[in-house]
Amino acid sequence: MIALDNIESVHNMATQAAAKATEDFLDQHGDRDACGFAWVTVYEKGSTKLGRALKAVGFKPAYGGGLQLWNPSGNWTQCITAKEEGARAYADVLKKFGIKEAYAGSRVD
């Protein structure tokens, strides 16, 4: 399991991975896909130690439960596929550090 005092470092690594994945997609395919949004959902209650740590790095309560971080790459492209790549990369880093219930999500605008 993740060390809660290390969550900011993990978040920074995940954000960098998301930004790189998004940029790599845009470099290869361009900014020409449908407009949309992407996010990462972690199915964790906000009242737990992990939940509080995630909220401290920017996660917000999700409508369907858990916590969400929208646009983890920080890229302002409207290309949904590029944003999805970033969200998947962010979730993959969380999983690597023991947060198993981390998933990428998206929707067309």
pLDDT tens digits for range 30-62: 998 899 999 999 999 999 999 999 999 999 999
SS (H, E, C) 5-49: HHHHHHHHHHHHHHHHHHHHHHHHHCCCCCEEEEEEEECCCCCCH
Question: What sign for the dihedral angle of Cα 91, 16, 68, 78?
Answer: negative
In DSSP terms, 42 is beta-bridged to: 67, 102
Q: Is the pLDDT of residue 1 over 80?
A: no
Q: Is the pLDDT of residue 3 over 70?
A: no
Q: Is the pLDDT of residue 8 over 80?
A: yes
pTM given for the model = 0.95
